[in-house]
A and B are shown apart, each in its own frame.
Chain A
């Protein structure tokens, strides 16, 4: 899954990161609690000797740089007209790009989608609509499990809080934004001045747009780390209803095991519909026609969607740090949690099952993705390729006096920053994923409680922030006490190991008792086991209470916030340097290279095609025959390949040789889920839903050797709607304008 699987993790992360970033200033007073002087010593690398400079078996000079190493997520600001003509022989004029842009959608859930009829019908992934499906389920219904099909328009169910956005127009505002920072001195100040200006423009243009049409709003988008700014006008559809969703067992066929893999057989789709303010299906003249013919091997195909960011444009030293510290620490922390959760994940009581399963889902999904990246980074070829690219940039840089004067020391500064990060990495290791939802609910509530109390004490904090924090804190779901206790023990051990046995904080916290008895005592006597007890304690004053978590969190939170503060300061510095690097690249190569993905609309080109895998060749397509092969073959092993009742004995009319999934060489990133896969006539031939296991390393360098985007084939969608779901109304609507 390539959208919010990652978000599932990071939803928790930015949540608290944002919250706690605000705490950074107050942490100064909090720091006094720490008994240990800050000793800066080089942290031992968690897995291997850190590499001073990227070491390679592969000589960097032997590496052929790919024209598209930086990726192919083109903006609509600078569409690659010449490239498309050169490579695909198509006449992609401005009308072509406008059509591609206007048919595509961004969902508020973080996914992509597209209009596939003139009456607001939206195609997206089942995994993008999971929450929506749950939200519209009524008492006694379990639509996620059973699937949903609205028999008539009146049966379509409104999804609360879901909206979709269409990119209505783009205006370059670089000049206006940069103008504001012309006379500002200092890098940080200049960045701030630009952001302030951007936000002013956003407000101005937004107000003007809304005055014309209340469904319009404006976002100013930063491209090339601030070298370019554009005002994106979006048209928002606030009334979105669920039309059709298959059963989870087929929508998520193969489960977590098959996630990020191909060959694949899931029907990962859902249909929604946008309605206008009068409650009628929205008139959507800009939409994509359905191709009943589908695509063939070698065909040019285009993905239009909203990919998130990648790590393709940083420095090699950043990659090496990620390889030696960040990823090994995260992977190790995730592995420990996965092991801890495995026995609980499927056996929990029903009222905590969802929370546990979601966490298990997030942990295993993130683990798979991060492990894949780590393996990629440990491959010398990848680092060599990036090193070669970096040398190329340096080479080009030193050909220009003005550029070398301005950016000459940039790479060295980035290298040095990584050394500083290394010095802190060991101490921080114990707090990996602390303050996220990937851990004990009791500890997380205590952390919120601690922070909430500090916010209130400070007096000058906006009441709205305090209210938001409280709301977030109380929204946490519950875990069974035994799970929480195991997670607390694990966390305390991790902190103890990272800080060392002699660390005064842990020593005074533990006194004469063990971690196990400390955790057991906490869980047995705390009121933080559920939201009700927590709310009560927040009102009475958490820090003043005699809850056993107060003592523990008062010792740990300052350590965490200090570490966090350090991370923040490194991060700020790194952001600045990376922005300079982007500016340098822009100065050298201009818009020939697309800016990094930024959750805004992009178009990526590629071709349908299989690849070499597992000692043989993976085909470009799979079929329903493969679905049944998997259903039968795994039946004694796992329920992940089980099928819902109506699929077990398919009707004779269902042609099992119909293409089900397909792969293509398009570039993608998290956020692309639900994107339409279009042919050169801008007809839908597929519905993007994942990348294969080989695509994970595209995080660092784009490659189309074996990395593939995976889509549901439109022919399988039609075949299923017709013969399995009897969704004639939908079929008629979809194919009314197609070539059939």
Chain B
């Protein structure tokens, strides 16, 4: 079946009244959590997982897709009107967006963000529909050694490239992998890390882990920092754009999309790096460079397009390889597993209708988001006046209910609290959350591929590099790991010529800017740990 007819079938499924309703619920919820700093789509999907067990998987995923895209839209509203990024991927938007709002151009900033997100989301989703089947065709030829290598690459890249500190990243990854190990060994049946407790033998339920880390950890963190000097929101009317704004926006939208999609699709993508790159590019190419720093519309249009395109890009490895690269995709992957659906290259063949309905619902959700965001952005901003104790009390209630309802065991509540405390400590000590959640979700799959590889090679570790692709990926892994060392060696050999590293010097600029933005604000967001990327690995 070719892409187009599959996609049309997907639309037919996604547009049934019930599924359409779930799409609407999804985008509304997604926008709401996107607007609120600290709450992200990953947490929302995790909280809703237990609730959606009763639903058809298709309906549930249509809702999750809406939440995922909605979070990307909502984040920009907070960035622009409050100078506090609602999501880590809208950190850059705050730089120019808030300046525009202060100069009385909030309506135009919101409009270019929403329309740019729509354009980028639509192009990105189209690319996803076109690329994913191609990646699948390539991926089915991959054996276990290559898979293992790709997963290691994804984990390492997310840990080492994103986030401000490698040490913290690896600590977090280690914690995640350890949590993923708890339970019975899949091959030999040995008990691992169960401390003799039979309740731990089945392993920790991923829903409980995700809810604890995202929801309970964040709620405790907020409770510990409850009283903050409140800010005023910049009043704004209906978002609209003049002819000149359109003229200055459409190119950044397309360039942002071009940055966002490939970075999202890479195993270490994330939405942060392409937004920085887009910002820097727009600054360089702009005909009004003097406006940058004082509210240039290009600086909003480009990054906003980039983060939505990256959101679409991230779904490519998630659907085609079963490889999530951000927190929301990771939790969605966990959702596949809990519905008994095996993620990976065979997903398109075995669950074709579901996958295409999901992709179709991304188009629908994107359109719905434009409709509910363009006229209603000022209404969404009102959500920020919600007293946070009520908000977080509600979240804790749902978290507890959800964690209990998974297995109906009081023991899960103990795990919820313990891991919630862990989530709080991680925020306290600046450990990013993303590597942990990826470790928990990818760890067991990673182990499975490793075991398969070693079984095939009869225990010979040479089996790990028995495929050409695997060898190539191991080289990249080595470069990522050794990069700081290489950098140091190069610097030592040529101390005078620091201009030797143009990539690093290029990345310094947004890094400083991002630093100042998120200093002024709350920690960027819960869903991807210490949000703003420090660009160390762009080189």
Question: Do A and B interact with each other, yes or no?
Answer: no
Interface of B with A (CB < 8 Å)?
none
Interface of A with B (CB < 8 Å)?
none
